A and B are shown apart, each in its own frame.
Chain A
Amino acid sequence: MKCTRLVDAGRRQFLRGSGVAAVGAAAAATVGAPAQAAPALARVAYPATRLANIADLTVNEPMDIAYPDADSPGVLLKLGQPVQGGVGPDGDVVAFSVLCPHKGWMLSYNGGDKTLNCPGHHSRFDCEAGGQQVWGHATQNLPQFALRVDDKGDIHADGVDELIYGRLSNVL
């Protein structure tokens, strides 16, 4: 796993404003700040994690990442044309969990039609359609990581839109 990833909770809190300050504070807690007696939160607090820089990406070449932590493998993709939910100057950068939400097999990327495919039971997910399950056994579409690109071109993940396989809380 990559060791250069940064948990950038402070910057994330700054960028997203006071409305999510509590979430940001909780995220800070995940990186070692002393826990304070505070009301439990209704949502898990996602870390903000630097995944890569735009310059590191090649069109249709998947990059291995992990988010929200090292035990949750994912893929970062520059698809080459704008897609819904895509970020970056070309609106084409997306990231997904690669644990199949059916039984947790590791998905493999097929650059031919930009899908993630499961070797276990042949489910497949469309990276150009928000991880929609094209066909398969999972009862949810593929968890997609919310991305943000800063003015240096650094790509940060700071959220997930579905439950990741193998954990009953996306942040452990």
Chain B
Amino acid sequence: MAFKRQVDRLPIIPADATEHNVTCHYCIVGCGYKAYTWPMNRQGGAAAGQNAFGVNLGEQQPTETEAWYAPSMYNIVRQNGRDVHLVVKPDTNCVVNGGLGSIRGARMAENRPSRVTNTQSQRLTDPLVWRNGVWQPSSWDDALDLVARVTARVVTEGSEDDLVVSMFDHGGSAGGYENTWATGKLYFQSMKIKNCRIHNRPAYNSEVHSTRDMGVGELNNAYVDYQLTDTIFMLGANSMETQTNLYLNHMVKGLQNGARMVVVDPRRTLTVASSEQFAGAENVLHLAINEGTDLALCNALLTEIVDKGWIDRDFIAASTFPEGVAVAEDEAHPASLGSLEHAMQACRMSLDEAAAICGVDAADIAKAAAWIAEPRADGSRRKCATAYEKGIIWGNDNYRTVGAIVNIALATGNVGREGGGVCRLGGHQEGYYRPADGHVGRPAEYVDQFLIRGLGGVHHIWACDHYKTTLNASEFKRVHKRRSDMVKEAIDAAAGGTREQVVDAIVSAINAGGLFVVDVDIIHSQIGQNAHVILPACESNEMNLTSMNGERRLRLSERYMDPFGNSRPDCLIAAGMAQHMERVLRDMGHADYADQFKGYDWTTEEDAFMDGYHQGNPEVTYDRLRAMGNNGVQEPVTGFADGKLVGVERLYADGAFDRHGRDDKKALFCAAGWRGWQAPGKAREQAAHRFWVNNVRANIFWQNQFLDQKNDFIQDRYPHPFVEMHPDDMVELGLNPGDLLEIVNDNGVTQGMAYPLPTIRRNTVAMVFGSPAGSQGNVVNPGVNELVLPDYKHCWGEIRKIADATEQTAKVSFKSHEAVL
């Protein structure tokens, strides 16, 4: 039977419950929620005067009611040292989601750690130090002292290049302005660490270098633009699953207002299926291109648009680089940038050429070009909102493909205008505020390969888990484990020694090729298995946290409960680390170096916010953000007037493009010539194996799978990572639904659960990315682009059965995900 909570009623929120602003911290959209807390010994009543909604709860409430919450929206948590009732429910007054909850955010309450209900008991409560062959709970001072002593020894005996750092750089879950500032101050100001990486890729770099180099920041429109547009042009993205309430609350309204939609994706996604339902199939054009050929398609679209004269000449003349090359192609720029004419020399591609490369009809490419750019009957601009995400970012030839997409938007004048925009849709929210990072370099170091090569001696990890989110993961895991085990063995051998003796033993092991690993996380992660010190962090709402969403909407998500156990906000962990570094370095006689670690005397996350983000944005304070509620303010914040923060609805409304830092404020076109497979090894692997192993995301646990590995509702649905396959391929391989299978190639092996899907192409599978129970990265080769952007999406392998469906998987529904109405 399907998992059921057997909840037949819930405590009612009393009229005087405390209300808190909450921005869901899981995905980029940042839906508004309200949290209500009240004492354990009180409850509201059904009568209108006795509950927070002011309605008679003794009656059935209507569709879309505000006055209902699901059992997943309820919990009992600790607040100021006391247990309290908690309800976290969607905010009907938030313009982002309009009261819609997602399957992720509407479980925020249930996914809170609770001593009373035992939810999320996997959460870390105390610092853990590897001692006596196990992780021993310890004090913050003990743990941070060991971290500082080993780190200080390694960076002073070697250099700061021997400290490798994997750290979040985003907002929402992990990160946020408070925490990116604190870690940034520690590693980019007190130190100048260059061997660092971000949570989901093996280097410290932008996912969208080219759009920035072209002058166009990647989050340039407002969600309302999808309601106002004539055409939604989506590439390598699947918003119904991964920006759910952006799709439902904005894009669907656009479709219902008459917009058409072009979707470029090798797979028939749920976004395609749902859009056909909402808009009518005749208004949705799905270009199911061959994998990795987006660039050829975009160049053909641009060529068609230019040749038909559907370009915005006034906009091009006023806002784009007029003639020739502005930036030459070089090691840091995988394509030259300049005028439209210059770009066309490289980009020109006929419809027929593209049709042959992409495997779609030339007529459909022409149709897409018309839907995107053909002026309306009255000659006015066709509004087109363009959106892309990991299918492009983690796809073939990142730099040029992103550039080719932005080319189309610039050529048609669809940036900075109502109903336009050319945007990365995003994964996490944003929350980047750090000291300058120019010392990291471009291209940045390929950090995972750096570690595999045996380099680096200390590895600080902040809410990253390479085990689930790196490429070439099989090799990475083997090496990381071997190197960290050397240090564990050294610690074990030094058992009973003084702190100095243990540190000496660790440093000796490091000098012999070992790696000392410090893991800061909310749970004991998979890479955390290699750690020697584990530091427990807390999450958003266990601390105050500021972030901005995919339309740059900045909100303060308020603390409504205590950090679990002795866990702390990351910013205060970073501060503690800095303070211990200062003390240890001073003891070691490095007084000047020690002085660099001053300036962390924060006691709250607000202190970190004021020290960082507020310094660059002096109008913004916690009090002002709190007053702006769940609708917040769209960055950049330009002022404070009439008691409100003033922001910017959409960027570049004045036609001045500045993301590249050019004084002329002219946008640049990208000479994004098609060159086939860009990353090493892809063509050979494609030729060698039967199945293209696409990696995909799933609505149900996208961005919170680390918590959902201990959530019964989710584990009941997907006890193993799904691998969607055509039923005929399954028959050929002797696979039944729910059977366990493994995917094998030269890079490694991973496993999942066979899920039949008649709409997927033959010899293609779609495996969920980032699963704790089967890492797709195990079988992805090390190939990256010139700027070390991973091509996770292109991986080929063979598939074989491991086992019949287990008792658990046999009970799972294997029906199509597409609604039939």
* Interface residues in chain A, defined as those with a beta carbon under 8 Å from any beta carbon in chain B: 43-44, 46, 71-72, 84-85, 99, 101-106, 108, 110, 112-113, 115, 117-124, 126, 128-144, 160-163, 165-172
For B107, list chain A residues within 8 Å (CB): 139
- 29 intermolecular pairs with C-beta atoms under 8 Å apart: A71-B60, A99-B63, A102-B101, A103-B64, A104-B62, A104-B63, A104-B65, A108-B821, A110-B821, A113-B815, A113-B816, A118-B819, A122-B240, A122-B277, A123-B819, A126-B2, A132-B812, A134-B816, A137-B699, A139-B70, A139-B72, A139-B73, A141-B4, A163-B9, A166-B68, A167-B57, A168-B57, A169-B10, A171-B8
Q: A84-B811, A140-B70 are in contact. List 20 more A-B contacts (CB 8 A).
A: A72-B60, A84-B1, A122-B270, A122-B277, A123-B819, A126-B815, A130-B1, A130-B2, A131-B2, A135-B817, A139-B101, A140-B71, A141-B4, A144-B4, A161-B6, A166-B63, A167-B61, A167-B68, A169-B46, A172-B60
CB closest residue in chain B, given A111: B820
Nearest-CB distance from A148 to chain B (Å)? 16
Q: How far is the CA of A141 from the CA of B714 in the complex (A)?
A: 10
Decide: B717 and A168 in contact? CB cutoff 8 A: no
Q: How far is the CA of A128 from the CA of B815 in the complex (A)?
A: 10
B interface: dominant SS: loop
For A170, list chain B residues within 8 Å (CB): 8-9
Decide: A161 and B4 in contact? CB cutoff 8 A: yes
B307 interfacial contact with A, CB 8 Å: no
B12 interfacial contact with A, CB 8 Å: yes
B743 interfacial contact with A, CB 8 Å: no
Nearest-CB distance from A20 to chain B (Å)? 14
Nearest first, the 3 closest Cβ-Cβ pairs linking A and B are A130-B2, A132-B2, A139-B72
Nearest-CB distance from B688 to chain A (Å)? 34
CB closest residue in chain B, given A140: B70
Q: How far is the CA of A106 from the CA of B820 in the complex (A)?
A: 14
Decide: A137 and B820 in contact? CB cutoff 8 A: no
Decide: A168 and B821 in contact? CB cutoff 8 A: no
B820 CB contact (under 8 Å) in A105, A110, A169, A171: A110
Decide: B58 and A172 in contact? CB cutoff 8 A: yes
Q: How far is the CA of A156 from the CA of B729 in the complex (A)?
A: 44
Decide: B68 and A165 in contact? CB cutoff 8 A: yes
Q: How far is the CA of A4 from the CA of B100 in the complex (A)?
A: 37
Decide: B8 and A169 in contact? CB cutoff 8 A: yes
For A136, list chain B residues within 8 Å (CB): 103, 699
Q: A117-B819, A132-B716, A168-B12 are in contact. Are A140 and B68 (CB under 8 A)?
A: no
For A46, list chain B residues within 8 Å (CB): 8
Q: How far is the CA of A99 from the CA of B64 in the complex (A)?
A: 11
Most central of B64, B65, B110, B815 by chain A CB within 10 Å:
B815
Most central of B3, B107, B270 by chain A CB within 10 Å:
B3
Decide: B819 and A43 in contact? CB cutoff 8 A: no
Q: A44-B8, A140-B71, A141-B2 are in contact. Are A103 and B100 (CB under 8 A)?
A: yes
Q: A44-B9, A102-B101, A123-B819 are in contact. Are A167 and B4 (CB under 8 A)?
A: no
Q: A84-B811, A104-B62 are in contact. Are A139 and B816 (CB under 8 A)?
A: no
B103 CB contact (under 8 Å) in A118, A129, A139, A169: A139
Most central of A106, A122, A131, A171 by chain B CB within 10 Å:
A122
B610 interfacial contact with A, CB 8 Å: no
A168 CB contact (under 8 Å) in B9, B63, B106, B713: B9
Q: A138-B103, A163-B70 are in contact. Are A122 and B819 (CB under 8 A)?
A: yes
CB closest residue in chain B, given A126: B813
A137 CB contact (under 8 Å) in B60, B103, B273: B103
Q: How far is the CA of A117 from the CA of B273 in the complex (A)?
A: 14
Nearest-CB distance from A78 to chain B (Å)? 18
Nearest-CB distance from A89 to chain B (Å)? 20
Q: How far is the CA of A160 from the CA of B410 in the complex (A)?
A: 56
B244 CB contact (under 8 Å) in A101, A137, A165, A171: A137
Nearest-CB distance from A12 to chain B (Å)? 16
For A163, list chain B residues within 8 Å (CB): 5, 7-10, 70-71
For B622, list chain A residues within 8 Å (CB): none
Decide: A101 and B65 in contact? CB cutoff 8 A: no
B102 interfacial contact with A, CB 8 Å: yes
Decide: A172 and B7 in contact? CB cutoff 8 A: no
B59 interfacial contact with A, CB 8 Å: yes
Q: How far is the CA of A102 from the CA of B102 in the complex (A)?
A: 8
Decide: A133 and B717 in contact? CB cutoff 8 A: yes
Q: How far is the CA of A85 from the CA of B244 in the complex (A)?
A: 32
Most central of A121, A131, A133, A171 by chain B CB within 10 Å:
A121
B274 interfacial contact with A, CB 8 Å: yes
Nearest-CB distance from A93 to chain B (Å)? 15
Nearest-CB distance from B795 to chain A (Å)? 25
CB closest residue in chain A, given B816: A113
Nearest-CB distance from A126 to chain B (Å)? 4
Nearest-CB distance from B153 to chain A (Å)? 49
For B811, list chain A residues within 8 Å (CB): 84, 129
Q: How far is the CA of A132 from the CA of B65 in the complex (A)?
A: 23
Per-position 1/0 for B2-34, Cβ under 8 A of A? 111111111010000000000000000000000
Nearest-CB distance from A72 to chain B (Å)? 7
Q: How far is the CA of A61 from the CA of B274 in the complex (A)?
A: 26
For A129, list chain B residues within 8 Å (CB): 1-2, 811-813
B248 interfacial contact with A, CB 8 Å: yes
Q: How far is the CA of A167 from the CA of B63 in the complex (A)?
A: 11
For B59, list chain A residues within 8 Å (CB): 71, 172
Q: How far is the CA of A108 from the CA of B819 in the complex (A)?
A: 10
Q: How far is the CA of A106 from the CA of B821 in the complex (A)?
A: 12
B69 interfacial contact with A, CB 8 Å: yes
Decide: B63 and A103 in contact? CB cutoff 8 A: yes
CB closest residue in chain B, given A44: B8
For B817, list chain A residues within 8 Å (CB): 124, 134-135
Q: How far is the CA of A120 from the CA of B76 in the complex (A)?
A: 31
For B10, list chain A residues within 8 Å (CB): 163, 168-169
CB closest residue in chain A, given B63: A104
For A124, list chain B residues within 8 Å (CB): 815, 817, 819-820
For A126, list chain B residues within 8 Å (CB): 2, 813, 815
